[in-house]
A and B are shown apart, each in its own frame.
Chain A
């Protein structure tokens, strides 16, 4: 059932965009980038059982490192992107080793501080980052294998390939040894430790995978918007990702994707004044946590399947750590 749905959606995403105007194509690309970010947060909340308010810091590091390598050193996008991802993984591993032994609120606090530190560095390391103004005129990715990525549509397809490949890779990881151990950890960390799970190592691995996915979103943001600045990578962006995950559905991979679509298009359709967006996010966070523990995905499952369907490994809803 969900496979058919996924195939239909994918076919639509492949075939329809050439018929759309360039703003619509841009919106779709933006949704894809947000999908990556939401997936990265979803992995953390749903499988590692932690919230990272500094997730946007990972995104920012990837965006800045990749763009600076291109602007300052003339390195091609295709080389700069993997370097940026490696940098993000390194930072994530370091952060993880230091902080993941802290539980619940302590971990959250340190991630908050991490996010702030990244923002402060981006805004104040004037010589390198150009301060609060940020970087401008970031070019589309250079052509590769005869494919030109200069157009909005070509970039859209690039983002689509990255998002689909990431989703598939995460689906595999979630069912792998690491994914299953992470689910056990999320269910009961103390018990997991005493049946032999190396808790810290698994959590650091989980954080690193999540950081790679966030980094993928980060390297795409520069070319998509052509401008990056510290203001894009604040705790607000992290909370946006969190809202996408909670509204979409915790502990699933389709949840963050659906949440991203929902949260990019709803304000677009309703034309909320910009200043009301954070209030809306806060309200959605409370309402979804209280009344929609399975998120939109859980709601759809409940409507489609009336009994007989086994809950999947990850269908845990919001659980405590």
Chain B
């Protein structure tokens, strides 16, 4: 069993009303790995991300998490199997306090132990650096803090795999460095990470392995060094206007 990758995506495809958004994409993510998903605009990376997290149902292909087929499962089932995700920008419960935001993922699991929950809230608050804002209302937080809270919520149930949706969007270089450090700290906790991102430089620096999509298909896969030299990748980005 140990030989099997944590996440196996095989032959993934998605059609929206005749338009092929994702076409026969396969890749894996191993335990303890940070995998980046990049590609020019419209490459299908966000759709792939949404398929893997269970937001959309794929038109074809298989997705296995820890050996279990998760295609067609309800989001809460997928979460229970150890997959968590964040959303582009910030997505939190704006009317609830920071602490209550973090509590919801634990409450969602039946038979939650109150003391263990309080302990986990403290841990995660410290991990994402929001301990001082514990009682603030989520919607009143600054953008950066809201996005940290979003990550904190995803971490609450100690997922095996965390999917980050554009974690570096809208950040300046210093903030990007801090967020990248956070991603590596998450990995250090034993959580694998799959992230989709526009900022190619940040992905090159953060990820162990990179999957490049273009026009719905996988065009390259490898270490940052390999991707950097790959002519197909350079072609795809030059041909399709690199977006900043």
B-contacting residues of A (Cβ < 8 Å)? 177, 180-181, 183-184, 187-188, 190-200, 311, 313, 315-316, 319
Chain A residues near B103 (CB-CB < 8 A): 180
A-contacting residues of B (Cβ < 8 Å)? 53, 55, 74-76, 79-80, 84-85, 87, 91-96, 100, 103-105, 107-109, 112, 137, 153-154, 156-157
Chain A residues near B157 (CB-CB < 8 A): 196
From A197, which residue of chain B is reached at the shortest CB distance? B108
From B106, which residue of chain A is reached at the shortest CB distance? A196
Query: Contacts A187-B93, A313-B96 hold; do A195 and B104 have CB atoms under 8 A apart?
Result: yes
A-B contact pairs, 24 of them (CB 8 A): A177-B107, A180-B103, A180-B107, A181-B104, A181-B108, A183-B95, A184-B96, A184-B104, A187-B96, A188-B94, A190-B55, A193-B74, A194-B79, A195-B79, A195-B84, A195-B105, A195-B108, A195-B154, A195-B156, A196-B109, A198-B108, A199-B75, A315-B95, A319-B95
From A184, which residue of chain B is reached at the shortest CB distance? B104
Chain B residues near A188 (CB-CB < 8 A): 91-94
Report Cα–Cα, A193/B78, bound state, in Å. Answer: 10
A316 touches B104 (CB 8 A): no
Chain B residues near A194 (CB-CB < 8 A): 53, 55, 75, 79, 84-85, 87
Chain A residues near B87 (CB-CB < 8 A): 190-191, 194
Chain A residues near B153 (CB-CB < 8 A): 195
Please name the 7 residue pairs, one residue from A and one from B, whose CB atoms are nearest each other, closest first: A196-B79, A196-B108, A193-B75, A195-B105, A187-B93, A197-B108, A184-B104
From B53, which residue of chain A is reached at the shortest CB distance? A194
B55 touches A183 (CB 8 A): no
A191 touches B100 (CB 8 A): no
A267 CB, min distance to chain B CBs, angstroms: 34
A180 touches B55 (CB 8 A): no
Chain A residues near B84 (CB-CB < 8 A): 194-195
B85 touches A313 (CB 8 A): no
Report Cα–Cα, A319/B47, bound state, in Å. Answer: 28
Report Cα–Cα, A196/B109, bound state, in Å. Answer: 7
